[in-house]
Copies of this chain bind each other. A is one copy, B any other.
């Protein structure tokens, strides 16, 4: 380990997921409107140099490989080397592995939430703080930051029963 922190601008790519779900009080369903990322960065008093791009606003169970190819393109085309991707947890590990190998020389950290930010008890703020820290320090590669931990893309899965992320055997 060493102590170098990157000062590069960080690009945040938004793809939706539980992070950004809201409650529609007219029909009682969960839905997507705008991302809460800017509000969360402001709440966290973040002074990082970031720019935020919304690529899509979908449940990750509905994410196709065409969507993933578009995310990979956006990662490759980004001017800087450090990216955070907000993503639904259900297929976060799959997207991480998809990006690995397709995007070289960049540090990419995927994160998300188990509870929508708007529901007042979200793990989203904790995870966002964590992902933004890991992306400043880790070398090139694709990672998943959840549960306070950081996993290499090749070695992570969501445990469907507990909802936690863990190493694959």
Binding site for B on A (CB under 8 A): 1-6, 18, 23, 25-26, 28, 30, 40-41, 43-48, 59, 90, 114-116, 118-123, 125-134, 136-139, 141, 145-150, 152, 160-161, 163-166
Contacts and interface: CB of A to CB of B under 8 A. Distances in A.
Contact of A147 (B46, B128, B161): B46
Contacts of A26: 160-161, 163
A44 B148 contact: yes
A79 B48 CA distance: 33
Given A26-B163, A137-B137, A137-B138, A148 B48 contact: yes
Nearest to A48: B148
Given A120-B118, A133-B134, A163-B25, A46 B139 contact: no
Contact of A130 (B115, B133, B139, B147): B133
Given A119-B119, A129-B127, A163-B26, A47 B5 contact: no
Contacts of A40: 126
A6 B131 CA distance: 16
B48 A147 contact: yes
A118 to B, nearest CB: 6
